[in-house]
DNA sequence: GTCCCTGCAAATCCTTTGCACTCCT
DNA sequence: AGGAGTGCAAAGGATTTGCAGGGAC
């Protein structure tokens, strides 16, 4: 296991992600962080987001728009992603039946917090169509 | 609404996807279909997969490995994706509490079949680590 | 001093697109 | 004939990576 050293850039990326609730992409985050670190590079943002998600400190997910989105929430919750407008809503964890069932079910495994995604169409978009 | 014309290539892509249970990527599908249509191009595969998913005939999803995966199953079911080995398992729809709850819950919407994803670690990978 | 981390730019990977031509209907 | 669909290659966008210099311990 590699030893991490402190880095102001990484710290800033974590803080920035913690403060936002909009599940930003790497590029959106990059634009924000540039206000504090005008010289930070996009590569550094990507490198740290990858590192943090491998450490399990953040979650990454695709919402079908071609780029990855990131999330820092620490309480267990799931996501609802509207395929029409791209909006991302947080969902209560209780919507899924006891996940320990998964351990004994035939497709086996442990489900990580933050990593359950529902894709569909949100009410707002449904109403626009009718 | 545009009018579809028959195409042997598209037919072959659909058949191929129907016969497989491994949730292939565009490239994996391309390699298979080349055996029947040696001249088919990757662009055609992408074009048709995009078309079919827009028509709702197939589902596309990301499993964190950088490329999109496709699925043709018609019965409602969900996916469990192992973040360690990348395996994709089909999950029974009953694992989620009545999705009509979603219609009245505060983050609103209709969840599409095939579009619920659980990410975690499968039993096999868990055991390898212990 | 050592080794991790950064900025920069080039490279890579996946997916989409423009164009001329072919195949349906 | 008309317009979708195709193959090919180039373009586009997102993410990763190599390298030389800077910073943490």
pLDDT tens digits, one per residue of B69-125: 999 876 667 778 777 777 778 877 776 666 555 555 555 566 665 566 777 777 777
The alpha carbon of residue A95 is apart from the nearest alpha carbon of chain B, in Å, by 6
Q: Do A115 and B118 make contact, defined as CB atoms within 8 angstroms?
A: yes
CB of B56 lies under 7 Å from some atom of strand D: no
Kindly identify which residue of chain A lies nearest to residue B62, measuring between CA atoms: A62
pTM, rounded to two decimals: 0.83
* Strand D contacted by B48 CB (< 7 A): yes
B13 CA to D2 C1' distance (Å): 26
Residue A73 has pLDDT above 80, yes or no: no
Backbone angles phi, psi at B66, to 5 degrees: 95, -15
Number of residues that this document lists for chain A: 130
Q: Which residue has the higher pLDDT, A124 or B59?
A: B59
A5-39: per-residue pLDDT in tens?
999 999 999 999 999 988 899 999 999 999 999 99
Mean pLDDT of chain B: 81
Kindly indicate the confidence band of residue A40, based on its pLDDT and cuts at 50, 70 and 90.
Answer: very high
- Helical (H) or strand (E) element with A108: none
Helix (H) / strand (E) element for A87: namely none
What percent of chain B lies above the pLDDT cut of 70? 77
Give the closest residue to A14 by CA, choosing from A29, A27, A1: A29
Across all strands, nucleotide nearest A6 (CA–C1'): D24
Instruction: Name the residue facing A112 among B110, B112, B120 (closest C-beta).
Output: B120
Averaged over B51-66, what is the pLDDT? 86
Percentage above 90 pLDDT, chain A: 38
* CA dist B10 → A20, B67, B74 (Å): 43, 21, 18
Whether residues B112 and A80 touch (CB distance < 8 A) is answered with no
């Amino acid at each position: 296991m590699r030893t991490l050293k402190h880095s102001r850039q990484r710290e800033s990326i974590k803080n920035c992600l913690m403060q936002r609730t909009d599940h930003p992409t790497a590029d959106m985050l990059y634009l924000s962080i540039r206000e504090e670190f005008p010289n930070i590079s996009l590569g550094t943002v990507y490198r740290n987001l990858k590192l943090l998600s491998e450490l399990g400190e953040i979650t990454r997910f695709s919402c079908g728009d071609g780029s990855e989105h990131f999330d820092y929430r620490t309480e267990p919750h799931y996501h609802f992603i509207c395929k029409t407008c791209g909006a991302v809503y947080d969902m209560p964890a209780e919507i899924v039946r006891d996940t320990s069932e998964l351990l004994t079910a035939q497709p086996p495994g442990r489900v990580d917090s933050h990593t359950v995604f529902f894709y569909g169409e949100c009410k707002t978009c449904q109403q626009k169509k009718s």
